[in-house]
Every structure is written in structure tokens, then in C-alpha cells.
Amino acid sequence: MSKPTIGIVVGTTRQGRFSEKPAAWIHGIASQRNDLDFEVLDLRDYPLPLFNEAASPAYVPPKNEQAQRWARKLAQLDGLILVTAEYNHGAPAVLKNALDHAYAEFNRKPVAFVGYGGVGAARAVEQLRLVSIELQMAPVRNAVHIGMIEFLGVWQQGKSFDDFPHLAKAATAMLDDLAWWATALKNARAAA
């Protein structure tokens, strides 16, 4: 069986966003592994409308063309890393909207989280774990939380993620979890 392919979702789209920096960083670390393949999915490349379909994609396939493109891409993947900010203690609406726009394509796949913000987006990540369970995903235990000092250091003080080695350590733990679950669930989906 081929290696699982994991999508790294850049979870915000606004002008001047920070999200592309942690997404590029985790992609760099992840790409050094030989047990998983990775692909960056930028939500800017999937300009979804605010959800306006007749029913949940769990029951009725979306009519919107961007939603269909998004679902086709998700179908090719064996798991996700959601790179997320925290907007008012929740996930950015654009990321939740993207999760609402597909269903079967998420099912029985693992999901991991890289959060950044005042508390490393811990509150948004915990909410996303609950959302992902409803999408029949398996949220992995270890996550990367880029807290205030690291976030401001990289964003405004000319530091790099490498200046904070505990982040790479957290990334490795998260990717190890993801590799286990992605392989197990890929095999299980193939056998089902």
C-alpha cells in the first residue's frame, strides 16, 4: 500500500494572515519523514461561499463547484493537519465553513492540529476536535500550540520557529501520532 498522503490546511485567508508561516514550517518538518506524504491546501485556493446548500453534505452532495473541487481534493487524502488561528476563542469561520462543505471525504481519517495565538489556539483546537468527531474523523492526541511568546517572536520580532526548539519536539510527537493513525485507518478503509 502506498504511503498515506496528508493535507496541511492553511486555515485563515485574510490579507496579512500569519497562518502561512506555521503551515510552511510544519510542512518543512513533515517533509523530512519517509512514512507520510504531504500537500499544502490553502483555503484561498478554495474560495467557498458561506454555506448555502440545500442540506448537510452528509446527506446531499453540494452543488457549488468550489465545494465539489474541495471535496474531490479531500477524497484524495488520508488525513489532515489543520493550521488554525483562534478567532474569539473559536476556529476561524473560513475554516469551519470549509469543514461544513464536505462530509464523506473526511470520514475515518485522522486529523491533527497546529494552533497559534495567545494560548496557542488551544480553545479553537479543542472545539475543532469536537467538530472533527462529528465528521467521523479521528483527532490525534498530540498537537502543536504556538503560544504568545513564540507567535509574537516569529510575527513581529524577527525570530524563527527554530528559535523555539520545543515546537519541533511537539511537531514530531504530533506527526508520530498522525502516522500511526493514518496508516491504521488507510489499511482499515481499504479492508472495509
Ligand X SMILES: Cc1cc2nc3c(=O)[nH]c(=O)nc-3n(C[C@H](O)[C@H](O)[C@H](O)COP(=O)(O)O)c2cc1C
Residues that bind ligand X (CB under 6 A): 12, 14, 17-19, 85-89, 117-118
C-alpha cell of residue 64: 457549488
What are the helix (H) ranges across the chain?
20-30, 65-75, 93-100, 122-134, 148-156, 165-191
**Closest separation in Å from C-beta 87 to ligand X:** 4
Pick 71 or 80: Cβ nearer ligand X: 80
Residue number closest to ligand X, CB atom? 117
**Closest separation in Å from C-beta 189 to ligand X:** 32
Rounded Cα gap, residues 98 and 96, in angstroms: 5
What is each CA distance from 168 to 26, 133, 157, 184, 190, in whole angstroms? 8, 26, 19, 24, 32
What is each CA distance from 155 to 18, 106, 152, in whole angstroms? 7, 32, 5
Pick 3 or 89: Cβ nearer ligand X: 89
Pick 50 or 192: Cβ nearer ligand X: 50
Rounded Cα gap, residues 160 and 75, in angstroms: 34
**Closest separation in Å from C-beta 21 to ligand X:** 9
**Closest separation in Å from C-beta 45 to ligand X:** 16
Specify the pairing of strand 144-146 against strand 37-42. Answer: unpaired
**Closest separation in Å from C-beta 161 to ligand X:** 15
Burial status of residue 122 (CB atoms within 10 A of its CB: 0-12, 13-18, 19 or more):
middle
Pick 14 or 63: Cβ nearer ligand X: 14
C-alpha cell of residue 153: 517572536
Pick 91 or 179: Cβ nearer ligand X: 91
